[in-house]
Chains A and B, each alone.
Chain A
Amino acid sequence: MLDVQNLVKTFAGSKAEGRGRVHAVDGISLHVDEGELFTLLGPSGCGKTTTLRCIAGLEMPDDGVISVAGRTLFSRADRIRVPANERGLGMVFQSYAIWPHMNVQANVAFPLQVLPRAKRPSRSQIKERVERVLAVVKLDHLSSRQATDLSGGQQQRLALARALVMEPPLLLLDEPLSNLDAKLRDDMRFELKRLQRELGITGVYVTHDQVEALAMSNTVAVMRDGKIEQVGRPRDVYEKPSSRFVADFIGTSNFIDGVVEAKEGSSYRVRTDDGMLVVPSDAAFQVGDNVVVAARPEHIELTTGSNGGAPNAWAGRVAVRSFLGEVVDHVVSVGSRELRARCNSKVSIPPETDVTVRFHEEAFSLIPAGE
């Protein structure tokens, strides 16, 4: 469906950066299947929005090939550069970009009205299609309302309707939920996901919010400094981060440096400063490799009383406890380090209590050191 090969986009650097070119997107390749929602996830400045804008045609890449449904939209080698307004893609902007001088209906009708005369539907067809798409996003009762009178969530749905009215082969979404308040964002997330799955929309979704990325996508690509760090299904990326950056960016992790001491079946014995860990991993490590063990705090169990010393069960002492409603976070001192453990709200251990820190196997992922 969408194919991006070796996409490069540079910007002129500022004076401080020595007037060189800054690689905002540094050789990205990706593939999105029909009906799939593909998410570009990363911190600000990682190049995710620039990638999306290159696909949209709003930025001109320096190199690479972009094609949608077999049609080449950009190719440096073949000197193909289809302008944004001829690509026929739908896009939802971060600010929604609702035109304030038009009402709801006029906003949605615009993409159909500006089609070349030969392809333009008749007036009644336009009206019908506008009504249909407004019904899909549940705005049909507001069609003659001035666009600026809509609430944030309604504007969001209007932007979606406008992007969908052309029935584009590909929908681009640039942090569409980031301007909504937390509660509404949760609702819209499900709403958007339902619509995407029901209508079979192929989409590229840009966000810096890992929760959004995990909840919505079929595939997540974590980006860093203009490159894709890891691509995979949300669960795989979460449970098997391939680098420290990914483990840190998605969810929270405790990072424990160590050295591989032995391979035991499908697990590795890792020696750390504070004790032994037995970590299951598919990756190939050699004995003596420096590694980082990333341990998810929600799979660390605390029990009062200290009988630590065994692998994956360390002795520690609670330093800080904070009640977060659904869960209780504990910071536990173990030897020289502090570990974070996220317990269900029934477990609440006061500070200065000796505890046993038990790592469940699913807490772990094993990452090569030095990244």
Chain B
Amino acid sequence: MVAVAERSVQARGEALRRLLSARNLIVLLVAAAIAYLALVPLGFLLWQTFVRGGHFTVSAFRDAYGAVGLGTMLLNSFVFSFGSTIFALVIGTALAYLLVRTDVPGKSLMYAASVVPLIIPGILHSISWTFLLDPHNGIANTYFIQKLGFGAFNVYSLPGMIFIEGLHLAPLVFLLMVASFRSMDPSLEESAIMSGAPMWRVFFRVTLPLAKPALYAAILIMVVRGLESFEVPAVIGLRNHIWVFTSRIYDALHALSPDYGTAGALAMTLLALTSLGVWWQSRLGRRARAFQTVTGKGFRPRPMPLGKWKWPAVAFILAYFFVSILLPLLTLGYASTQLYYSPPTHYTLTHLTGANYPSVFHDPLFQHAVKNSLILGVGTATAVMLMCAIAAWVVVRTNLPGRWLIDNLAFTPLVIPGLVLGVAMLDVYLRLKWLPIYGTLWILFIAYLTRYMPYGMRYAATSMFQIGKELEESAMMSGAGWFQSFRRIVLPLLVPGFIAGWIYIFVVSFRELGSSVLLYSPGKEVLSIAIWQQWQDGLLPQLSALGVMLVGFLVVMVAIAYKLGARIGVRET
């Protein structure tokens, strides 16, 4: 009896020791960090918008929508996001089908074009199109559209915004649809052909219906992206007062007296819309999985010969490549060689200068920006990947109660548009006086951490799934404790995914504008902010030189990622 009681006391001490083990402490810390990042800004935003003087109120909404002219803004937002979605969807799906299912030449060009959103930040992309399609001196207007006898295309319009946003979103659709076409079992189509159906019938009766879940998902993702987009509405839309959610939020905070109530109410609405989109998409995803017609296996389908359609298809690809990559980059390159920007003429083309490049280096703004961007990029990428490696382990490997909560929390920021996060973070850190990080790089660091947590989680979780559970179990059976097996088995096997995710976050952190534009303070500018300021000051050649160097740097980074990718499998999305 006594012996048993003693043993059970011992067992209880043992249990306590286990509960407080290094493993549990680390897991708890990570879970707390994720919960803080995901919940605190949202909580403050809700509080700020709905509670005034201790009472629940919707007055912020009344103010916001009373002043703004709700109808036009809503209409603009939806026309803009749906318009750019349709544009991107048509181009992206066509390219994806050509790539995966036909024998069209020039497939490597398509892959090159697909990394555009990674290497050309949205703000540079938008600015380069103002050079091209300005109604007065746009290069494409002067030398192409008007030469054909049309009137100048005014880019500062909804169609202009849709065109530019759609062009920027098309590669994303392309990648989503390539994945979908790839994972489609070719025997489904082949059996339709064997049943005697002609090619076009197979496409419409089998291929397209099978791709439907992916199409719907792509539509929802793009609509959400369109709603969140800040660069195009700010660079293109503001000039002619074509308001959408994001530009309105920005405007409310940059008026002479910042109106946090209005910004909060608009941000809440936008958040509700994007959450709806993401929720709907995940529901679709679940249903699609239930069907299991499209398996996760990779197939190598037999390419369909295009025949006489080959050359039109090639022309389409070349045109896309020219318009989406070459034209914007050439324009930026040209603008960077001028002392004062004017459209290319014989005179300007024979009077090129490299003076902008050294002068950029001497600009203190640039020096700050490079330093801050590098610090933030390296810091965010490292912190996110470490945190997510542990979180992914908890979610994928353990059966701890509440692990799904960690998963959901880590993905929550996906529904928060950058600008909304900016509004929320302002809210938090202007109030939390005991955490005085407003005006430092820390606030940007926390914002980036929040924004890129979902991507880190995706990379980490995917690689974690690829590491067989038995590899870890066999380490346990060999006598290794948690820390040993995490350090010696899990982390080394996670390295490829870890590096891929690290580079991805590092690269995308350079183009972050939405939350930075609300959270930076003088001396704490990052590169995207430097470009934004120079754009507002009209320093176009300097901005272009900076842009060209930034694109060059990102190309190198992406190239490294792809080089490693040959070995480690960098995922494109």
Listed in ascending order, the chain A residues whose CB lies under 8 Å from chain B are 56-58, 78-81, 83-91, 93-95, 97, 99-101, 110-111, 114-115, 159, 162-163, 166, 172
Listed in ascending order, the chain B residues whose CB lies under 8 Å from chain A are 4, 7-8, 11-12, 15, 18, 468, 470-471, 473-481, 484-485, 488-489, 492-493
Q: How far is the CA of A83 from the CA of B4 in the complex (A)?
A: 20
A84 touches B476 (CB 8 A): yes
A79 touches B8 (CB 8 A): yes
Q: How far is the CA of A87 from the CA of B488 in the complex (A)?
A: 20
| Chain A residues within 8 Å of B470, by CB | 93-95, 97
Q: How far is the CA of A64 from the CA of B485 in the complex (A)?
A: 28
| Chain A residues within 8 Å of B7, by CB | 78-80
| Chain B residues within 8 Å of A58, by CB | 473, 476-477
B474 touches A78 (CB 8 A): no
B484 touches A163 (CB 8 A): no
Q: Can you list 19 A-B pairs, Cβ within 8 angstroms, ordered by A? A: A57-B477, A78-B11, A79-B15, A80-B7, A84-B473, A84-B476, A84-B477, A85-B476, A85-B485, A91-B474, A93-B470, A95-B470, A99-B475, A101-B492, A110-B475, A110-B478, A111-B478, A111-B479, A114-B488
A97 touches B12 (CB 8 A): no
B8 touches A85 (CB 8 A): no
B8 touches A78 (CB 8 A): yes
A97 touches B492 (CB 8 A): no
**Also in contact, A85 and B468, with CB within 8 A (given A78-B11, A80-B11, A91-B474):** no
Q: With both chains docked as a complex, state the minimum distance between the C-beta of B489 and any C-beta of chain A, in angstroms.
A: 6
B481 touches A85 (CB 8 A): yes
Q: How far is the CA of A150 from the CA of B492 in the complex (A)?
A: 20
| Chain A residues within 8 Å of B485, by CB | 85
| Chain A residues within 8 Å of B15, by CB | 79
B11 touches A110 (CB 8 A): no
Q: How far is the CA of A57 from the CA of B15 in the complex (A)?
A: 16
A114 touches B474 (CB 8 A): no
B8 touches A97 (CB 8 A): no
Q: How far is the CA of A80 from the CA of B14 in the complex (A)?
A: 10
B479 touches A97 (CB 8 A): no
**Also in contact, A88 and B493, with CB within 8 A (given A97-B474, A162-B474):** no
**Also in contact, A93 and B12, with CB within 8 A (given A78-B7, A85-B479, A110-B480):** no
Q: How far is the CA of A251 from the CA of B494 in the complex (A)?
A: 45
Q: Which of B4, B479, B484, B488 contacts A78 (CB 8 A)?
A: B4
Q: How far is the CA of A80 from the CA of B468 in the complex (A)?
A: 29
B473 touches A99 (CB 8 A): no
Q: How far is the CA of A111 from the CA of B484 in the complex (A)?
A: 11
| Chain B residues within 8 Å of A93, by CB | 470, 473-474
Q: With both chains docked as a complex, state the minimum distance between the C-beta of A162 and any C-beta of chain B, in angstroms.
A: 7
Q: How far is the CA of A189 from the CA of B458 in the complex (A)?
A: 42
Q: With both chains docked as a complex, state the minimum distance between the C-beta of B405 and any C-beta of chain A, in angstroms.
A: 17
| Chain B residues within 8 Å of A97, by CB | 468, 470-471, 473-474
Closest 5 CB pairs of A and B: A111-B478, A97-B470, A79-B11, A97-B474, A114-B480
| Chain B residues within 8 Å of A91, by CB | 473-474, 477
Closest A residue to B11 by CB, please name it: A79
Q: With both chains docked as a complex, state the minimum distance between the C-beta of B485 and any C-beta of chain A, in angstroms.
A: 8
Q: How far is the CA of A110 from the CA of B477 in the complex (A)?
A: 11
Q: How far is the CA of A159 from the CA of B474 in the complex (A)?
A: 9
B480 touches A85 (CB 8 A): yes
Closest A residue to B8 by CB, please name it: A79
Q: How far is the CA of A159 from the CA of B476 in the complex (A)?
A: 14
| Chain A residues within 8 Å of B468, by CB | 95, 97
**Also in contact, A110 and B476, with CB within 8 A (given A95-B470, A99-B471):** no
| Chain B residues within 8 Å of A159, by CB | 474
| Chain A residues within 8 Å of B484, by CB | 114
| Chain B residues within 8 Å of A79, by CB | 7-8, 11-12, 15
**Also in contact, A163 and B477, with CB within 8 A (given A78-B8, A79-B12):** yes
B477 touches A90 (CB 8 A): yes
| Chain A residues within 8 Å of B493, by CB | 99-101
Q: How far is the CA of A163 from the CA of B473 in the complex (A)?
A: 12
A114 touches B479 (CB 8 A): yes
Q: How far is the CA of A172 from the CA of B476 in the complex (A)?
A: 13
Q: With both chains docked as a complex, state the minimum distance between the C-beta of B389 and any C-beta of chain A, in angstroms.
A: 16
Q: How far is the CA of A100 from the CA of B468 in the complex (A)?
A: 11
Q: With both chains docked as a complex, state the minimum distance between the C-beta of A13 and any C-beta of chain B, in angstroms.
A: 15
Given A58-B476, A97-B468, A114-B484, 9 new contacts (CB under 8 A): A58-B473, A58-B477, A79-B8, A79-B12, A111-B480, A114-B475, A114-B488, A115-B479, A172-B477
Q: How far is the CA of A32 from the CA of B492 in the complex (A)?
A: 38
Q: With both chains docked as a complex, state the minimum distance between the C-beta of B464 and any C-beta of chain A, in angstroms.
A: 15
Q: With both chains docked as a complex, state the minimum distance between the C-beta of B382 and any C-beta of chain A, in angstroms.
A: 21
Q: Which of A78, A80, A94, A166 contacts B478 (CB 8 A)?
A: A166
Of the listed residues A87, A91, A97, the one surrounded by the most CB atoms of chain B closer than 10 A to its CB is A97
| Chain B residues within 8 Å of A80, by CB | 7, 11
| Chain A residues within 8 Å of B8, by CB | 78-79
| Chain B residues within 8 Å of A81, by CB | 11
Q: How far is the CA of A56 from the CA of B474 in the complex (A)?
A: 10
Closest A residue to B484 by CB, please name it: A114
| Chain B residues within 8 Å of A88, by CB | 479
Q: With both chains docked as a complex, state the minimum distance between the C-beta of A240 and any C-beta of chain B, in angstroms.
A: 36
B489 touches A56 (CB 8 A): no
Q: How far is the CA of A315 from the CA of B458 in the complex (A)?
A: 69
| Chain B residues within 8 Å of A114, by CB | 475, 478-481, 484, 488
| Chain B residues within 8 Å of A115, by CB | 479
A162 touches B478 (CB 8 A): yes
Q: How far is the CA of A166 from the CA of B475 in the complex (A)?
A: 13
**Also in contact, A89 and B477, with CB within 8 A (given A78-B8, A80-B7):** yes
| Chain A residues within 8 Å of B481, by CB | 85, 114
| Chain B residues within 8 Å of A163, by CB | 477
| Chain B residues within 8 Å of A100, by CB | 493
Q: With both chains docked as a complex, state the minimum distance between the C-beta of B155 and any C-beta of chain A, in angstroms.
A: 52
Q: How far is the CA of A110 from the CA of B479 in the complex (A)?
A: 9
Q: With both chains docked as a complex, state the minimum distance between the C-beta of A164 and any C-beta of chain B, in angstroms.
A: 11
Q: How far is the CA of A363 from the CA of B78 in the complex (A)?
A: 79
| Chain B residues within 8 Å of A94, by CB | 470
Q: How far is the CA of A221 from the CA of B492 in the complex (A)?
A: 40
Closest B residue to A88 by CB, please name it: B479
A86 touches B477 (CB 8 A): no
Q: With both chains docked as a complex, state the minimum distance between the C-beta of B454 and any C-beta of chain A, in angstroms.
A: 27
**Also in contact, A86 and B11, with CB within 8 A (given A97-B473, A97-B474, A114-B484):** no
Of the listed residues A57, A85, A86, A162, the one surrounded by the most CB atoms of chain B closer than 10 A to its CB is A85
Closest A residue to B493 by CB, please name it: A101
Q: With both chains docked as a complex, state the minimum distance between the C-beta of A16 and any C-beta of chain B, in angstroms.
A: 14
| Chain A residues within 8 Å of B471, by CB | 97, 99
Q: How far is the CA of A40 from the CA of B7 in the complex (A)?
A: 32
Q: With both chains docked as a complex, state the minimum distance between the C-beta of B200 and any C-beta of chain A, in angstroms.
A: 42
Q: With both chains docked as a complex, state the minimum distance between the C-beta of A109 and any C-beta of chain B, in angstroms.
A: 10
Q: How far is the CA of A316 from the CA of B481 in the complex (A)?
A: 66
Closest B residue to A106 by CB, please name it: B488
Q: With both chains docked as a complex, state the minimum distance between the C-beta of B18 and any C-beta of chain A, in angstroms.
A: 8
Q: With both chains docked as a complex, state the minimum distance between the C-beta of B186 and any C-beta of chain A, in angstroms.
A: 27
B477 touches A85 (CB 8 A): yes
| Chain A residues within 8 Å of B475, by CB | 85, 99, 110, 114
B477 touches A56 (CB 8 A): yes
Q: How far is the CA of A99 from the CA of B478 in the complex (A)?
A: 12
Closest B residue to A168 by CB, please name it: B477
| Chain B residues within 8 Å of A172, by CB | 477
| Chain B residues within 8 Å of A111, by CB | 478-480
Q: Which of A56, A86, A95, A99 contacts B479 (CB 8 A)?
A: A86
Q: How far is the CA of A114 from the CA of B487 in the complex (A)?
A: 12
Q: With both chains docked as a complex, state the minimum distance between the C-beta of A159 and any C-beta of chain B, in angstroms.
A: 8
B489 touches A99 (CB 8 A): yes
